[in-house]
Amino acid sequence: MELLLLLTVFVLAIFVGFEIITKVPPTLHTPLMSGSNAISGITIIGALLSAGSDHNQITTILGFLAVLFATLNVVGGFMVTNRMLEMFKKKD
């Protein structure tokens, strides 16, 4: 049952994604890509759980590397998207 619920969420989220993303104008496709890229860094949550689990050395090392890569992805992605979008603001 649990798996079915997760699959339901998965499929519905894909539809939501299609609906929203098709409305993004071509002008914003680059920020869309870098911004959605940052969102895919959500895997950082899993990385935190692995790095902090204190299970054994291997999981800690894998977790640490995952936290490092995912943080780069998240922080860099949102910041560079913000930098680009600020340029699209109308100058007064």
Partner 1 sequence: MNEILIPLAYLVASVLFIMGLKGLTHPKTAVRGNRLGATGMLIALVVTLFDQHVLTFEWIIAGLAVGALVGAILAAKIEMTAMPELVAMFNGFGGIASSLVAGAELVKFAGGGSIGAIPVAQFTIAAGTSGLIGMVTFTGSMIAFGKLRGLVSTGVVTYPGAQIVKILFALACLALIVMIVMDPGNIQNYWILMAAAAILGVLAVIPIGGADMPVVVALLNSYSGIAAAATGFVLNNTVLIIAGSLVGASGIILTMIMCKAMNRSLANVLFGTWGDSAQSSMPGADEIYEGRIKTTSAEEVAMMLDGASSVIIVPGYGLAVAQAQHTVRDLSNLLKANGTDVKYAIHPVAGRMPGHMNVLLAEADIPYDELVEMDVVNPAFQQCDVAIVLGANDVVNPVARDDPNSPIAGMPILDADKARTVVIVKRSLSPGFAGIPNPLFAADNTLMFFGDAKKNMLDLVAAIKDS
Q: Tell me which residues in 23-42 interact with partner 1 (CB under 8 A).
A: 23-42
Decide: 34 and 78 in contact? Cβ < 8 Å: no
Under the binding rule (CB under 8 A), the answer on residue 2 touching partner 1 is yes
Q: Which of residues 58-87 bind partner 1 (CB under 8 A)?
A: 58-60, 62-87
Chain centre to alpha carbon of residue 37: 5
Decide: 51 and 60 in contact? Cβ < 8 Å: yes
* Rounded least distance, CB 31 to partner 1, Å: 6
Under the binding rule (CB under 8 A), the answer on residue 4 touching partner 1 is no
